[in-house]
């Protein structure tokens, strides 16, 4: 017969050896708010950990031939523009330690590159970035930390004009038309209301080094707690909340 102490010790040992669940961070914010810059800065500072970035943009649905003909009437800022089921499948698989073939999206032609994928492997930290990553509750529930990048609308519009004309093959008039017709209304209806789910709101995006340093410290603490549990399996780590 094993003593109760021995039983609880071996159970604790089994827990300590359980595979580490990746820490999932959601990064949301309006178009051209600096989400990618914030993610890159977090990744840079966590260089000693395995970190992967998944963009919600990769899960844009392909357009039907009819929609393609009338692309100027298509709302890319509505939640229905994304294949959320596939995004959910991706994050669930990555969270359970499996790799995933993430689609590659072509903004110039508004479609997925049908024959190429990006292989994303298991990691310590998964960052999911996109304008509507807080919209679906099932996706939100997979996140350990939610960050909203809060940048003034005029700064975002100026960046968007530059980016879409330089990188996405658009002309200024079409960018302004799309912004007034779809981007701004969808920001007001879907993106802004999802800000309430954020744990941390970063004003000025990538320019806010203090906020990013604090976030990285918090992530390091969370990753370190797992290591602490491995070394001292009977130690209870008290969870804390975090807000800037
Ligand atoms: N979009 C588009 N044409 C497509 C698909 C998407 O114009 N075929 C636009 C949508 O209107 C949406 C935007 O792409 O507003 C989403 O990308 P955005 O968040 O602006 O890009 P990021 O590089 O992630 O932004 P950030 O600067 O915050 O990193």
Distance CA 84, CA 87 (A): 5
Q: Is residue 178 part of a domain?
A: yes
Residue ranges making up the domain that contains 35: 18-56+123-231
Q: What is the CATH number of the domain that holds 152?
A: 3.40.50.300
> For the ranges 9-18, 108-117, 184-193, 210-219, which has the lowest average pLDDT?
9-18
Q: Is residue 72 part of a domain?
A: no
Q: Mean of the pLDDT values across residues 84-111? A: 95
**In Å, how far are 74, 154, 204, 228 from 90, measured between CA atoms?**
25, 34, 30, 29
pLDDT at 113: 87
Rounded to the nearest integer, the mean pLDDT of the chain is: 87
pLDDT at 205: 87
Q: Is residue 5 part of a domain?
A: no
Closest-CA residue, ligand 1 atom 12, reads 77
pLDDT in tens, 49-59: 999 999 999 99
Q: Which atom of ligand 1 is nearest to the CA of 71?
A: 8
Which residues, listed in sequence order, are joined to residue 229 by a DSSP beta bridge? none
Ligand 1 pocket: which of 32, 158, 185 to mutate (most atoms <8 Å of CB)? 32
pLDDT at 122: 86
Q: Which atom of ligand 1 is nearest to the CA of 129?
A: 24
Q: What are phi and psi of 233, to 5 degrees?
A: -60, -20
Q: Is residue 133 part of a domain?
A: yes
Number of domains in the chain: 1
pLDDT at 100 over 50: yes
From ligand 1's centre to the CA of 31, what distance in Å? 6
pLDDT in tens, 163-220: 999 999 899 999 999 999 999 999 999 999 999 999 999 999 889 999 999 999 999 9
Closest-CA residue, ligand 1 atom 26, reads 32
């Amino acid at each position: 017969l094993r003593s109760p102490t021995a039983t609880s010790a071996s159970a604790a040992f089994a827990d300590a050896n359980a595979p580490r669940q990746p820490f999932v961070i959601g990064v949301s914010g309006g178009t051209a708010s600096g989400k990618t810059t914030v993610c890159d800065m977090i990744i840079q500072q966590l260089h000693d950990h395995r970190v992967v970035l998944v963009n919600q943009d990769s899960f844009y649905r392909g357009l039907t031939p009819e929609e393609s003909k009338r692309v100027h009437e298509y709302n890319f800022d509505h939640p229905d523009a994304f294949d959320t089921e596939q995004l959910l499948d991706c994050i669930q698989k990555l969270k359970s330690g499996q790799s995933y073939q993430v689609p590659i999206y072509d903004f110039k032609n508004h479609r997925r590159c049908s024959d190429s994928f990006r292989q994303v492997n298991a990691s310590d930290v998964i960052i999911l970035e996109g304008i509507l990553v807080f919209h679906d509750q099932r996706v939100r529930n997979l996140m350990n930390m939610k960050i909203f990048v809060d940048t003034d609308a005029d700064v975002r519009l100026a960046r968007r004009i530059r980016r879409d004309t330089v990188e996405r093959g658009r002309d200024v008039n079409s960018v302004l038309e799309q912004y007034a017709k779809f981007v701004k209304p969808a920001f007001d209806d879907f993106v802004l209301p999802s800000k309430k789910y954020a744990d941390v709101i970063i004003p000025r995006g990538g320019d806010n080094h203090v906020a990013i340093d604090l976030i990285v410290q918090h992530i390091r603490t969370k990753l370190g707690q797992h290591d602490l549990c491995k070394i001292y399996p009977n130690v209870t780590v008290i969870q804390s909340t975090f807000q800037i």
